[in-house]
């Protein structure tokens, strides 16, 4: 797969090089200059990106190691899934602001350079610009994100409210028919902003990151890379080093100036969240609403029970171990456990 993708990226570039080179050669019919000699250099704009450096290649091979490239799922190209699972679908809805594509996406590709950047639109350096960094209205309640460049990520990495959605305070039962019910698999924008949980109880607040990491996801996930394993366009946060996983802290040290202290903080935060998740899972399984594989057990249940499953899956699927927003994640779990005990 990686070799094929690389080939698909390189071949058009070589073809382009051949074409623009031919445009600048002397020839009997080389307009607009006399015999092609005084014509405009056909490589004048292309060279702004396709230069002799290796910066572009580095980004390509980092992307090839990313979940965006290797995670699959871009075959989920129907109208409702295509906006996030396919590059073409994402580009369409960024323009239309619709929730779905107009039709099933044909010949889908995974998220790639064209997905996030304005590649080959002006054929100048401006093509590196992101397609949009406008605030995104989260699907949960319309709250706008404020994460700078990270707003682009929020278009997909947010909760898809399930149907039915439990309502706080109601005593009515709801019926869930699918074991895959829940907030879906990428609720990071909601967690980062402290939004979208089934908020039983009180005392909710956000961690330092929410208000102070202005570029959101980009600050840490696209920080200076460690080869192709972490950072850069791999967007991964950990890499293997001497047999164990290490967090790529390149984007963190502006605020967390002590790397060792940061490692301890990350470990303690994750241990705390994992303990709360385990405690909540035991309760949910005892209630018969969650199975061992972290799927909801279809059936009719009180809204509070469904909301508790929802909160469990929300924190679990965030997959940051509390790093995105420890204060909100911990309070959500604490209040949920208290509410169902």
pLDDT, one tens digit per residue, over 213-232 is: 999 999 999 999 999 999 99
Q: CB count, 10 Å around CB of 325?
A: 26
| Residue 320 and residue 174 share a domain | yes
| Model confidence at 5: pLDDT above 60 | no
Structural domain includes residue 75: no
Cα angle value 285/291/297 (rounded, 5°): 95
Structural domain includes residue 142: no
Q: What is the pLDDT of residue 17?
A: 47
Q: CB count, 10 Å around CB of 24?
A: 17
| Residue 178 and residue 53 share a domain | no
Output the six-digit token pair for 235. 């967007």
Q: What is the pLDDT of residue 41?
A: 72
| Residue 160 and residue 60 share a domain | no
Q: Tokens 């409210």 sit at which residue?
A: 161
| Model confidence at 21: pLDDT above 80 | no
Choosing from 20, 44, 69, the residue where a domain stops is 69
The mean per-residue pLDDT over the stretch 325-333 comes to 98
| Residue 156 and residue 45 share a domain | no
Output the six-digit token pair for 71. 């995670």
| Residue 162 and residue 49 share a domain | no
| Count of positions (residues) in the chain | 341
The mean per-residue pLDDT over the stretch 165-176 comes to 94
| Model confidence at 25: pLDDT above 50 | no
Highest mean predicted confidence (pLDDT) among 6-10, 24-28, 174-178, 242-246: 174-178
137: helix, coil or strand?
strand
Specify whether the CB–CB gap between 101 and 93 falls below 8 A. Answer: yes
Q: What is the pLDDT of residue 3?
A: 52
Structural domain includes residue 217: no
The mean per-residue pLDDT over the stretch 31-35 comes to 59
Specify whether the CB–CB gap between 182 and 312 falls below 8 A. Answer: no
Contacts of 56 (CB under 8 A, 6+ apart): 49, 50
Choosing from 13, 37, 69, the residue where a domain stops is 69
Specify whether the CB–CB gap between 37 and 26 falls below 8 A. Answer: yes
| Residue 182 and residue 294 share a domain | yes
Q: Which domain holds residue 277?
A: 148-202+260-340
For 290, which DSSP code? B
Distance (Å, rounded) from C-alpha 341 to C-alpha 338?
6
Q: What is the pLDDT of residue 15?
A: 46
| Residue 288 and residue 172 share a domain | yes
| Residue 328 and residue 183 share a domain | yes
Specify whether the CB–CB gap between 153 and 189 falls below 8 A. Answer: yes
How many domains does the chain contain in total?
2
Structural domain includes residue 21: yes
Choosing from 16, 44, 69, the residue where a domain stops is 69
Structural domain includes residue 301: yes
Cis peptide before 147 (omega within 30 of 0): no
Distance (Å, rounded) from C-alpha 317 to C-alpha 313?
6
- Residues 228-268 pLDDT 10s: 999 999 999 999 999 999 999 999 999 999 999 999 999 99
Q: What is the pLDDT of residue 20?
A: 45
| Model confidence at 10: pLDDT above 90 | no
| Residue 45 and residue 185 share a domain | no
The mean per-residue pLDDT over the stretch 108-133 comes to 93
Distance (Å, rounded) from C-alpha 157 to C-alpha 217?
10
Structural domain includes residue 113: no
**Residue 60 phi, psi dihedral angles, 5° rounding:** -65, -45
The mean per-residue pLDDT over the stretch 201-208 comes to 97
Q: What is the pLDDT of residue 6?
A: 53
Q: What is the pLDDT of residue 9?
A: 53
Q: What is the pLDDT of residue 72?
A: 81
| Model confidence at 311: pLDDT above 50 | yes
Distance (Å, rounded) from C-alpha 143 to C-alpha 128?
28
| Residue 310 and residue 190 share a domain | yes
| Model confidence at 4: pLDDT above 80 | no
Average pLDDT, the chain: 90
| Residue 179 and residue 56 share a domain | no
């Amino acid at each position: 797969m990686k070799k094929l993708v690389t080939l698909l990226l390189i071949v058009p570039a070589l073809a382009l090089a051949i074409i623009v080179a031919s445009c600048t050669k002397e020839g009997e019919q080389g307009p607009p200059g006399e015999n092609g000699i005084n014509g405009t250099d056909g490589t004048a704009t292309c060279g702004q990106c396709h230069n002799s450096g290796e910066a572009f290649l580095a980004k390509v091979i980092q992307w090839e190691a990313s979940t965006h490239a290797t995670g699959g799922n871009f075959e989920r190209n129907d109208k409702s899934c295509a906006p996030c699972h396919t590059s073409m679908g994402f580009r369409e809805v960024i323009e239309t602001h619709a929730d779905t594509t107009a039709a099933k996406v044909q010949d889908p590709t995974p998220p790639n350079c064209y997905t996030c950047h304005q590649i080959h639109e002006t054929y100048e350096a401006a093509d590196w610009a992101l397609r949009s960094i406008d605030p995104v209205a989260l699907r949960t309640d319309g709250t706008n994100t404020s994460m700078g460049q990270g707003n682009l990520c929020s278009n997909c990495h947010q909760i898809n409210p399930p149907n039915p959605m439990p309502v706080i305070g109601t005593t009515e039962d709801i019926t869930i028919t699918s074991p895959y019910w829940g907030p879906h698999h990428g609720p990071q924008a909601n967690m980062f902003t402290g939004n979208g949980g089934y908020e039983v109880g009180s005392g909710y607040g956000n961690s330092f990151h929410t208000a102070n990491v202005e570029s959101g996801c980009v600050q840490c996930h696209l920080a200076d890379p460690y080869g192709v394993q972490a950072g850069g366009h791999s967007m991964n946060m950990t890499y293997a080093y001497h047999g164990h996983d290490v967090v790529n802290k390149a984007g963190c040290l502006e605020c967390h100036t002590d790397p060792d202290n940061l490692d301890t903080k990350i470990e303690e935060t994750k241990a705390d969240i994992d303990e709360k998740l385990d405690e909540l899972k035991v309760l949910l399984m005892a209630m018969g609403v969650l199975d061992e594989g972290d799927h909801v057990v279809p059936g009719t249940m009180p809204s509070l029970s469904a909301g508790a499953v929802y909160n469990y899956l929300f924190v679990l699927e965030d997959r940051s171990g509390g790093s995105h927003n420890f204060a909100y994640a911990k309070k959500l779990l604490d209040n949920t456990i208290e509410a169902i005990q």
